[in-house]
Structure 1
Amino acid sequence: MKKAEVVIISSPGVGHLVSTLEFAKLLINRDNRLRITILVMKFPHTTEIDVYTKSLAIDDSLNIVDLPECSLPPNSNITSGMVDLLKAQKPNVKKAVSNLTKAPENGVLAAFIVDMFCTTMIDVVKEFSVPTLVFFTSGVAFLDNVDSTQLLQQTELAIRGFANSVPSNTLPSSVLRKEWESFFMSYAKGLKNADAIIVNSFEELESYAVHSFVSHPDLAGLPIYPVGPILNPKPKTKSAIDSDDIVKWLDDQPPSSEVFLCFGSRGFFDEDQVKEIALAVENTGVRFVWSLRKPPPKDTMNAPSDYTLSDLSSVLPEGFLDRTAEIGRVIGWAPQTHILAHPATGGFVSHCGWNSTLENIYFGVPVATWPLFADQQTNAFQLVCELKMAVEIALDYRLEFNGESNYLLTADKIERGIKSVLDKDGEVRKKVKEMSAASKKTLLDGGSSYTYLGRLIDYIRYQVSK
Structure 2
Amino acid sequence: MTKAELIFIPAPGIGHLVSTVEVAKLLVDRDERLSITFLIMRVRFDSKIDSYIDSVSAACKRMQFIDLPKDEPDPNQSNRFLFQLIEAQKPHVKEEVSKLVSHYELSHDSPRLAGFVLDMFCISMIDVANEFGVPSYIFYTSGAAFLGLKFYIQALHDEQKVDPTEFKDSDAELVMPCLTNPLPAKVLPSVMLNKEWLPAVLGNIRRFRETKGIIVNTFEELESHALSSFSNGNTPPVYPVGPILNLNTDGDHDTGCDKSSKYKDIKQWLDFQPLSSVVYLCFGSMGSFEVDQVREIACALEQSGHRFLWSLRQPPPQGKMEAPTDYVNLQEALPEGFLYRTMEIGKVIGWAPQIDILAHPSVGGFVSHCGWNSTLESIWFGVPIAAWPLYAEQQFNAFQMIVELGLAVEIKMDYRKELLNTDGNKNIVTSAEIERGIRCLMELDDEKRKKLKKMSEKSRKALINDGSSYNWLGRLIQDMLGDMP
- TM-score w.r.t. the length of structure 1 is 0.95
Q: 2:209 aligns with which of 172, 187, 192?
A: 192
* Alpha-carbon offset, residue 57 of structure 1: 3.0
Give the aligned partner of residue 69 of structure 1: 70
Asked whether the 8 Å contact 1:112–1:130 carries over to 2, the reply is yes
Q: State whether residues 178 and 227 of structure 2, in contact with CA within 8 Å, keep that contact through their aligned partners in structure 1.
A: yes
Structure 1 pair 16–45 and aligned structure 2 pair: CA distance change class (3 A): closer
Q: How big is each residue's C-alpha offset from its partner over 1:47-68, in whole Å with a ceiling of 9 and x where there is no partner?
A: 2322322221345411111111
Conserved? CA contact 2:71–2:88, under 8 Å: yes
Alignment of 1:168-317 (within 5 A): 168-214=185-231, 216-219=232-235, 222-236=236-250, 237-238=252-253, 239-308=259-328, 310=329, 312-317=330-335
Is 1:234–1:338's contact at 8 Å kept on the other side of the alignment?
no
Task: Give the equivalent residue in structure 2 for 1:136.
Answer: 140
> How far apart, CA to CA, are the structure 1 residues paired with 2:223 and 2:146?
11
SS in 2 for 1:289: strand
For each residue in 1:231-263, what CA deviation from the matched residue of structure 2 results, as whole angstroms up to 9, or x when unmatched? Answer: 022313422221121111111111100000000
My pick for the range that moved more, 1-10 or 448-457, is 1-10
Q: Residues of 2 paired with 1:405 and 1:15: CA distance?
A: 24
Match of 2:129 in 1: 125
Any conservation in 2 of the 1:148–1:159 contact (CA below 8 Å)? no
1:91, CA displacement in angstroms? 0.5
- Post-superposition Cα deviations, 1:332-370, rounded to whole Å, max 9, x if no partner, equal 111000000000000000000000000000000000000
After alignment, is 159-168 or 389-398 more displaced? Answer: 159-168
In 1, Cα distance between the equivalents of 2:318 and 2:196? 18
Asked if structure 1 preserves the Cα contact closer than 8 Å seen for 2:321 and 2:420, the reply is no
1:109 aligns with 2:113: yes
The partner residue of 1:410 within 413, 426, 430 is 430
1:368 touches 1:392 (CA, 8 Å); kept in 2?
A: yes
Q: Which amino acid in the other structure matches residue 183 of structure 2?
A: V
Cα deviation code 1:125-176 (max 9, x no counterpart): 2111111000000000001222326353352111221111101110111111
Gaps of 5+ in 1: none
- How well do the aligned residues superpose, as a CA RMSD in angstroms? 1.6
1:283-310 per-residue CA deviation (whole Å, 9 max, x = no partner) reads: 11111110111111222221111111x2
Which residue matches 1:9? 9
- Structure 2 CA distance for aligned equivalents of residues 363 and 74 of structure 1: 36
Aligned residues: 459
Counterparts in 2 of 1:73 and 1:359: CA distance versus 1, 3 Å: closer
Quick one: distance in 2 between partners of 1:364 and 1:23? 22
Structure 2 CA distance for partners of 1:289 and 1:45, relative to 1, 3 Å: closer
Structure 2: any 5+ residue segments left out of the alignment? Answer: 254-258
Residues 370, 75 of structure 1: CA spacing in aligned structure 2 closer, same or farther, 3 A cutoff? closer
Q: Are the counterparts in 2 of residues 43 and 85 from structure 1 also a CA contact under 8 Å?
A: no
Instruction: Provide the C-alpha distance between the structure 2 equivalents of 1:425 and 1:325, rounded to a whole number of angstroms.
Output: 28
Cα separation, 2, equivalents of 1:19 and 1:46: 16
Instruction: Evaluate the alpha carbon distance shift between residue 323 and residue 141 of structure 1 in structure 2; reply closer, same or farther with a 3 A threshold.
Output: same
Q: Quote how far apart the aligned CAs of 1:192 are.
A: 1.5
Partner residue in 1 for 2:256: none
Q: Distance in 1 between matches of 2:75 and 2:453?
A: 48
CA contact (8 A) 2:181 2:404 kept: yes
2:306, 2:74 → 1: CA distance? Answer: 48
Structure-1 separation of matches of 2:86 and 2:242? 27
TM-superposed CA distance for 1:278, in Å, is 0.3
The structural deviation recorded for 1:421 is 1.0
**How is 1:337-348 mapped onto 2 (pairs within 5 angstroms)?**
337-348=355-366
Task: Tell me by how many angstroms 1:314 deviates.
Answer: 1.4
The answer as to 2:457 corresponding to 1:437 is: yes
Return the offset for 1:74.
7.4
Counterpart of 1:449 in structure 2 is 469
Letter in 1 for 2:177: R
| Residue identity matched to 1:458 | Q
Give yes or no for contact 2:75–2:81 (8 Å, CA) kept in 1.
no
Match of 2:381 in 1: 363
Quick one: which amino acid aligns to residue 210 of structure 1? Answer: L
**Correspondence list, 1:310-325, <5 A:** 310=329, 312-325=330-343
> What residue identity is the alignment partner of 2:339?
L
